[in-house]
């Protein structure tokens, strides 16, 4: 089966990854269904795991056939694996009888899966047109999730847990979060915040496309409708982190695209007008009160007090974050070991600090710093379409990683999706230039 697939993918001289677009489309959809799983007796297999395995297997075939490899990414992956092993050995030595072997194995395998996917996608030949198509797939899936979330609000039920197996904590199949009597829709995700996290990047993409005003009227109408649909879904999720991450993205757009400030101002005024129009809506009032409460809690932080978080998750998160910081201070360089936290820290960043220390946290952010530097070079020197996409990647990565500071653990596959595509695209630009130079020299 793999031989047949690899032969199909090998049709182009520039590299087998020219035909990987459909593979990546499928992967984005499987990532979207990360909360759902296939039950197999007492265990289950998640859809995003299957997507990761598919990427790794076919990506390995493509690299072996194409004879190309991003050595920088390979070196990074090797360094990560060595650090995870060393980090775990240190934790095992210090913990002795209290070592959580199951936690280590679960987190270790998922982290290896994530960085291997990063390696494979980073080595795929991703033309600019392919990247735009990937984003459109993400947008369409996000719109479908937003529409389903709206339906859940209207009917007052989650619905999907009757059709999908969605494993959750305490043997529940899904999180049915009700705040002040108002249901938080989840679409097909297990939590409303995970739906919000999935919508961050496509929402920013559509806002950026609308503001850029590069398309014909027909395309712009579609962009506006898609942006409104995604923004509605985001608002319904109650994910304050996701909403704030989108605002960070909008601020990044203003900083990197000065000409867009008027459009941004009009967009904000339109948003305020819509909020005022529905100011008597129970959901709008609740959302505004949650932001006010969040601001008050952050400015007067006191972990452990249940007065913090009556309509938000601030109380629960504050306790986890406080505990994680204490553990980090006890082991600042190596942490307590991957998968060794007894309770959730409710923050991807704090989990990294507590379990892997300064070294592991630094390793996690190295790809972000490297790719933003390279994207900024491309943004200054590339053609118009390339500059446009490079600017979007910088904006979206800043927003996506801001969201990841709270929402996701570092091993979750969605956390690595955007940056993997960015690496693959930038590396493909470099390879394309090398191929063009080689062809010119050969002709001469």
Give the DSSP letter of residue 428: H
Rounded Cα gap, residues 382 and 391, in angstroms? 11
Percent of the chain with pLDDT over 90: 36
Query: 43 has which bridge partners?
Result: 40
Query: Which of the residue ranges 3-7, 278-282, 381-385, 424-428 would you say has the lowest mean pLDDT?
Result: 3-7
Residue with the larger pLDDT of the pair 170 and 177: 177
Q: Which of 79, 72, 74, 23 is nearest to 52 (CA)?
A: 23
Rounded Cα gap, residues 409 and 360, in angstroms? 13
In this model, does residue 374 exceed pLDDT 60? yes
In this model, does residue 17 exceed pLDDT 50? no
Question: Which residue matches tokens 């009757």?
Answer: 162
Q: Under 8 Å CB-to-CB from 244, ≥6 apart: which residues?
A: 402
Q: Which of 314, 135, 187, 165 is nearest to 240 (CA)?
A: 314
User: Is there a contact between 184 and 235 (Cβ–Cβ < 8 Å)?
Assistant: no
Residue with the larger pLDDT of the pair 287 and 133: 133
Residue with the larger pLDDT of the pair 256 and 80: 80
In this model, does residue 76 exceed pLDDT 60? yes
Average pLDDT in the chain? 81
Residue with the larger pLDDT of the pair 397 and 99: 397
Residue 6: per-residue pLDDT: 41
Which tokens is 113 given? 């899966």
| SS (HEC) of 353-417 | HHHHHHHHHHHHHHHHHHHHHHHHHHHHHCCHHHHHHHHHHHHHHHHHHHHHCCCCCCCCCHHHH
For the chain, what are the domain ranges? 2-443
Interior angle at CA 148, CA 153 and CA 166, nearest 5: 100
CA 94 to chain centre: 33
Rounded Cα gap, residues 315 and 298, in angstroms? 11
Residue 198: per-residue pLDDT: 95
Q: State the number of CA atoms in the 13 A half-sphere of 59 facing the CB.
A: 26
Provide mean pLDDT across the span 9-33. Answer: 69
Q: Is the dihedral of CA 423, 426, 428, 430 positive or negative?
A: negative
Residue 67: per-residue pLDDT: 62
Residue with the larger pLDDT of the pair 287 and 268: 287
| Residue 12 φ then ψ, to 5° | -105, 140
Buried b (16+ CB within 10 A) or exposed e, 318-356: bbbbebbbebbeebeebbbbbbbbeebbbbbbbbbbbbb
User: Is there a contact between 216 and 403 (Cβ–Cβ < 8 Å)?
Assistant: no
Query: 46 has which bridge partners?
Result: 37
Note the pLDDT tens digit of each residue in 23-46.
Answer: 899 999 999 999 888 888 778 889
Q: What is the CA radius of gyration of the chain?
A: 22
Which tokens is 19 given? 């035909």
Residue 138: per-residue pLDDT: 97
């Amino acid at each position: 089966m793999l031989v047949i697939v690899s032969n199909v993918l090998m049709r182009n001289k520039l590299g087998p990854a020219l035909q990987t677009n459909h593979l990546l489309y499928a992967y984005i959809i499987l990532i979207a269904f990360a909360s759902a799983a296939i039950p197999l007796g007492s265990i289950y297999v998640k859809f995003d795991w299957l997507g990761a395995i598919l990427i790794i297997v076919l990506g390995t075939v493509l690299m072996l056939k194409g004879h190309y490899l991003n050595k920088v990414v390979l070196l990074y992956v090797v360094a990560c694996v060595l650090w995870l092993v060393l980090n775990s050995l240190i934790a095992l030595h210090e913990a002795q009888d209290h070592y959580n072997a199951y936690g280590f194995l679960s987190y270790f395998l998922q982290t290896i899966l994530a960085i291997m996917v990063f390696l494979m996608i980073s080595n795929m030949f991703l033309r600019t047109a392919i990247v735009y198509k990937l984003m459109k797939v993400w947008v369409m899936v996000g719109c479908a999730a937003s529409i389903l979330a709206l339906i859940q609000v209207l009917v007052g039920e989650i619905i999907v847990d009757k059709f999908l197996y969605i494993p959750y904590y305490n043997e529940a199949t899904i999180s049915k979060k009700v705040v002040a009597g108002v249901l938080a829709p989840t679409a097909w995700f297990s939590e409303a915040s995970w739906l919000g996290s999935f919508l961050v990047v496509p929402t920013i993409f559509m806002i950026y496309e609308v503001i850029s005003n590069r398309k014909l009227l027909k395309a712009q109408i579609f962009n506006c409708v898609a942006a409104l649909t995604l923004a509605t879904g985001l608002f319904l999720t109650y994910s304050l982190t996701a909403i704030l991450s989108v605002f960070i993205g909008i601020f990044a757009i203003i900083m990197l695209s000065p000409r867009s400030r008027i459009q941004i101002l009009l967009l904000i005024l339109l948003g305020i007008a819509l909020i005022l129009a529905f100011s008597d809506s129970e959901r709008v009032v609740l959302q505004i009160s949650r932001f006010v409460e969040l601001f008050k809690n952050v400015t007067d932080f006191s972990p452990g007090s249940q007065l913090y978080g009556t309509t938000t998750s601030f109380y629960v998160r504050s306790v986890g974050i406080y505990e994680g910081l204490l553990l980090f201070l006890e082991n600042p360089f190596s942490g307590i070991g991957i998968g060794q936290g007894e309770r959730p820290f409710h923050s991807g960043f704090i989990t990294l600090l507590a379990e892997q220390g300064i070294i592991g946290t630094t390793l996690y952010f190295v790809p972000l710093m490297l790719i933003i530097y390279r994207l900024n070079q491309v943004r200054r020197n590339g053609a118009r379409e390339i500059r446009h996409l490079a600017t979007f990647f910088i904006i979206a990565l800043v927003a996506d990683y801001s969201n990841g500071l709270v929402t996701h653990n570092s091993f979750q596959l969605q956390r690595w999706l955007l940056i993997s595509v960015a690496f693959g695209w930038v590396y493909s630009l470099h390879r394309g230039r090398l191929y063009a130079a080689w062809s010119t020299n050969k002709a001469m």
